[in-house]
């Protein structure tokens, strides 16, 4: 028993590199909570599970490893068949090769006020320290303090994430501010899942990061 996943549940299929072994993999996720790394798209939908990953878990118990190995259970039925809408499945299998073309266009996604979105992609740029006053042209101390209240005097970095959902065939670019306390150990080239919200200060729109996590098998 299981849902048939596809566009209706915001399914995303994203080419990535395994951070443990360096292989090319595909990460599938949807709003139902599916999360799975595939070696290839299409029958028999081989799931990625590498020695390097297993040895990285050497401190874990066998049962933890087993739980992680069956992480994608919501995407399969009892016969271990992958449950995707026919149209969605066809599209991603066709597009996976077309997307190897390096000339794929990049679309910059501007912030939308009060909109919260979830993205999955690769960190393409990090600016470690952003001067918030300078970025938002804030000069007056009093007004500035009010405007900047939501930044809470913490230190901020600016990240850019590129996301290629092969069902859409275009790469989207998101640039956002993130509290530096939340980004330890995240580096350029890492695969991440991010939740960002659009905001406005001094007529300037920006994305602010709520959650950022490295993606793991
Ligand atoms: Zn789904
Ligand atoms: Zn791997």
The pLDDT of residue 153 is 62
Averaged in consecutive runs of 10 residues, what is the pLDDT profile of the chain (217 residues)?
A: 83 88 90 86 85 72 52 64 89 83 85 94 94 81 67 84 88 94 86 93 92 82
The pLDDT of residue 67 is 47
Whether residue 2 is contained in a domain is answered as no
Distance CA 77, CA 185 (A): 36
CA of 136 relative to ligand 1 center, distance in Å: 39
What domain range is 169 assigned to? 106-214
CB 159 within 8 A of CB 125: yes
Q: Are 94 and 120 part of one and the same domain?
A: no
The pLDDT of residue 180 is 87
Q: Which of 43, 63, 98 is the last residue of a domain?
A: 98
Whether residue 174 is contained in a domain is answered as yes
Ligand number, closest to the Cα atom of 82: 1
Distance CA 146, CA 142 (A): 7
pTM of the predicted model as reported, rounded to 2 decimal places = 0.81
CA of 190 relative to ligand 2 center, distance in Å: 14
CA of 37 relative to ligand 1 center, distance in Å: 15
Q: Are 126 and 182 part of one and the same domain?
A: yes
What tokens does 18 get?
């395994």
Distance CA 125, CA 111 (A): 18
């Amino acid at each position: 028993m299981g849902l048939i996943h596809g566009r209706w549940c915001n399914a995303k299929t994203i080419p990535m590199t395994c951070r443990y072994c360096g292989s090319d993999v595909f990460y599938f996720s949807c709003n139902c909570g599916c999360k799975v790394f595939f070696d290839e798209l299409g029958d028999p939908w081989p799931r990625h599970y590498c020695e390097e990953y297993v040895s990285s878990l050497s401190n874990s118990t066998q049962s933890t490893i087993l739980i992680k190995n069956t992480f994608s259970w919501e995407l399969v039925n009892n016969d271990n068949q992958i449950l995707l809408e026919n149209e969605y499945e066809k599209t991603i299998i066709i597009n996976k090769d077309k997307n190897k073309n390096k000339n794929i266009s990049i679309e910059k996604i501007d912030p939308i006020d009060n909109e919260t979105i979830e993205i999955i992609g690769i960190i393409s740029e990090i600016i470690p320290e952003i001067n918030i006053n300078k970025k938002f042209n804030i000069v007056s101390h009093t007004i500035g303090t009010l405007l900047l209240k939501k930044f809470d005097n913490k230190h901020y970095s600016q990240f850019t994430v590129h996301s290629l959902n092969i069902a859409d065939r275009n790469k989207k670019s998101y640039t956002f501010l993130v509290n530096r306390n939340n980004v330890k150990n995240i580096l350029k080239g890492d695969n991440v899942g991010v939740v960002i919200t659009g905001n406005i200060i001094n007529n300037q729109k920006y994305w602010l990061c709520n959650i950022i996590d490295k993606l793991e098998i």
